Every structure is written in C-alpha cells, then in structure tokens.
Structure 1
C-alpha cells in the first residue's frame, strides 16, 4: 500500500512539473507574439484536467489577441468564475464583450427582489451556513447562561442576545437556501458559432424568434434532446441547438 501511494505521488508530481513547464512555454510563446502556438500549449494543460483562473485568463488573452471573439469571452468568463473579485479579469472581459455584435439590454431587478438578491449574493452558501451554525451555538450558550444566571441584568442581557442570535441563525439558513437555489438556476453559456438561429420550439422547422452571434452570453433554462432553452438578459426566451453553445460551468 505504501509503495502504491509513493507511485501515485511520483506520477502526480511528474504531471504537475510537466504542466508547469508547458505553462511557462506557453507564456514565453505569448510574449513572443506567437499566440496560436501559445493557445495550443494552454489547451494541452486543460486536457490534463488542470483548471485555474490564471490559466483561463492567459488563454483568453491569447484568443483576444487573435480576435477570437467567442473563445476570449468564454475563457475570461471561466477565469471570473474561479476568481470573481479579480479586477483585471473583469476589465479584460469587458473589452472582449465589446467585440460582440449582439447589443442586449439588461432588465434590472427592482424593489424587494433587488434587495433580497443583493443580500443573498454578499456571501456564498457555505458562509451563510457557517453563520447559521455559529448563531445556533451562541444561542445555546446564552440560553444556558440565562437559565443559570441569578442577576436580573445578566438574565435580561443573555435573553436579548440569545434571541438576536437565533434570529440571525434562522436568517442565515434562509439566505443559504436562497443562495443554493440561485446557484442551481445559474447555468450560463457562450454562443460559439458565428451566427445561430434561435427557434420558438426545439426543432429546425419551428419559427425563428431571433438570431445570436458569437460571444453572446445566455442562460440555460431547460434542455430537450440536442436543443437548449435559453434566456437572454432582456428576458427573451428561445431554443438554440446545443452544438452552438458551450457551458461555462463545465470544468
């Protein structure tokens, strides 16, 4: 068993070293202006099931230099998924989106929906769940303090803080649940063909509702055979052939 573990470690280390060398070679090719060759080496790393924001960012940069609209948007979006707070990724993604043809308005959230979504999105589901657990733990401790305390002031303080902790725990559970639901519904994709005819129904003879072009981001709502039901940021809905798009959440 020990020998097997050592062999696995050696292969893992060898694979890491090889990918690191490929990454350095790809960066060197990029700096020399050999963008197509750099892309080949970056993609070789992806083929070994290695994923990182830096890798996707560099791959997007190389595609952007060659005016490859869909791949540059796609890989910037992938980098953003892995490192959502990186300003350089956001800025380069904005430049890449400027190359796209489709100008689609965004329907903003308003009122309570906007407030709720902003609150839910401030933290991920795991963080909300952690806050809930801490809140319950604090509630139990303060409830015990309230039960055994003799001074009225201590009992009052323990009672107030325990109620606040319980409320915070319940709110955090609700926020975690809502974040999970939002994440499940978030299934973005990028159009990867020069032009795609979006249909009213999932068949080629159906009425065409609109056309999309490479680099446009869509949300997948449903699927049927080799078709995907999509929604745009302006809430337009239609069916697109699965071969015309690439999912962003696939790693």
Structure 2
C-alpha cells in the first residue's frame, strides 16, 4: 500500500510538472506574439533549463534573442536547435540571417557556398533518418542479389547487378551521412563568442594580442585543459587563446 501511494504521488507530481511546463510554454508563445521579446526570451530560457534537448525551444529562444538584437545568443540557440533537428530549414535560414550580421568573416563566399551546399544535403535527415535509408538500401541490395542468382532473364540480371552496385554505394554514403549527423549531436568542440574579446598568442593577458573577435563568431575548441583559457581555431585555420568567460559551447 505504501509503495502504491508513493507511485501515485510521483505520477501526480509528474503530471503537475507537465501542466506547469505547458502553461509556461503557452505564456512564452503569447509573449512572443505580443512582441514582448525580453519576457519571451526569459520564459523560453526557463523552459530550456528543464528541457535542454528540445529543438523547438532553442529555435524560439533564438528568435526572441534575434528580435532583441542579441545576435551572439541567437546564433548559439540556432546552432543548438540545428544540432538537435538538422532537417529544420527555417532554423538553418534564420541561422544564416544571424550569421550575416556578425562582424568577423573568416571565410570566402565560395567556401561558404560549397559548405552550405554539402550541409543542405546532409541535413535533409538526422542520423536516424539516414540509418533507416541505409537499411532500405540494404534490403534493395539483397533483393537484387536474389534476382541475379535466380532470374533466367539476361536483361533482368544485368539490371539487378546495376542495382546492387548502386545500393552498395548508397549504403556507404548514407552511413557516412549518419555518422556526420551523430558526430554533430555528440561533439561539443565548437563554441560561440558571446562578447567582444581578444585572441591571444598565449593563455595569458601579457601575451600578444593577435586580433579582436566579435560576438557571434564560431570557434573550434582545440585545447580546453586550462581552467581560465581555451585554445581555439578559426574557420580560416588561425589559432589562438581566448578566455572561457567570453565564449559558450554549443
């Protein structure tokens, strides 16, 4: 009886928490619809504390930050949303708009076009989606192998052999895309500059100031062993050190 009451109380608590979360989400959406960006951003941020893996919440939080002209935090939110839901075209579009407003451009236009063209294909599905497509390709490959072995038609066997080759190539490509998406989800080696900071030659304020980094710039973390500093690399290959208080991991 005591165990039953404990389970019942736990179920009631979970239901109450769910209702509170739903009410806060409705309130956040209502605040955003009324153009109360600051209050909406605070509400979405509160929701993310209890549900940090919700892509929609990160996306909505990014929209509120974008309206507030807080571009670094908007980019951070969009990056997190895109990682959780790679196939969200609206999120990728808004991320592109936010990036266009950053001051630092450490890439060429052609490089960016090539990268986005490739990513637009990879981001069509998440890791699970590419995994399912790989299984479909495997099934087609097995069916084609059976056709090659059992069919008496020369034309059908020739077509089946072609299908085997295509299926194998698809399996390889789909698995590569799935690994890319899985790595994006589990990899936390990227960060966003949250405020103007200096890129130093050494992890010390007395080092050489290589140049200034502005909010919204995306960095790759290459050394995070020090408590106050991180070594980073830019998209153009340049490296240096920044203080941990000025960046936030995606």
Alignment TM class, shorter chain as reference: 0.7 to 0.9
Task: Please tell me whether the aligned partners of residues 83 and 184 of structure 2 are also in contact (alpha carbons under 8 angstroms).
Answer: no
CA distance in structure 2 between the aligned counterparts of 1:62 and 1:240, rounded to whole angstroms: 28
Task: Please tell me whether the aligned partners of residues 199 and 208 of structure 1 are also in contact (alpha carbons under 8 angstroms).
Answer: yes
CA RMSD of aligned residues (A): 3.8
CA distance in structure 1 between the aligned counterparts of 2:127 and 2:64, rounded to whole angstroms: 34
Cα drift, residue 168 of structure 1: 3.2
CA distance in structure 2 between the aligned counterparts of 1:120 and 1:192, rounded to whole angstroms: 28
CA distance in structure 2 between the aligned counterparts of 1:182 and 1:81, rounded to whole angstroms: 6
What are structure 1's unaligned runs of at least 5 residues?
none
What does residue 129 of structure 1 align with? 131
CA distance in structure 1 between the aligned counterparts of 2:97 and 2:177, rounded to whole angstroms: 34
**How do residues 1-251 of structure 1 correspond to structure 2 at under 5 angstroms?**
7-31=9-33, 34-84=36-86, 86=88, 89-90=91-92, 92-93=94-95, 96-97=98-99, 100=102, 102-107=103-108, 108-109=110-111, 123-177=125-179, 187-193=189-195, 195-226=196-227, 227-248=229-250
Pairs aligned (count): 245
Q: What are the superposed Cα offsets for residues 148-191 of structure 1, whole Å, 9 maximum, x if unpaired? A: 33344444443333333334334444554566567777743221
> Which range is displaced more, 63-72 or 178-187?
178-187
Task: Please tell me whether the aligned partners of residues 23 and 41 of structure 1 are also in contact (alpha carbons under 8 angstroms).
Answer: yes
What are structure 2's unaligned runs of at least 5 residues?
none
Task: Please tell me whether the aligned partners of residues 191 and 217 of structure 1 are also in contact (alpha carbons under 8 angstroms).
Answer: yes
Question: TM-score normalized by structure 2?
Answer: 0.73
Distance change in 2, residues 1:146/1:180 (3 Å): same
Q: Secondary structure at the match of 2:197?
A: strand
Question: TM-score normalized by structure 1?
Answer: 0.73
Cα drift, residue 245 of structure 1: 0.7
CA distance in structure 1 between the aligned counterparts of 2:158 and 2:48, rounded to whole angstroms: 59
Q: Secondary structure at the match of 2:224?
A: strand
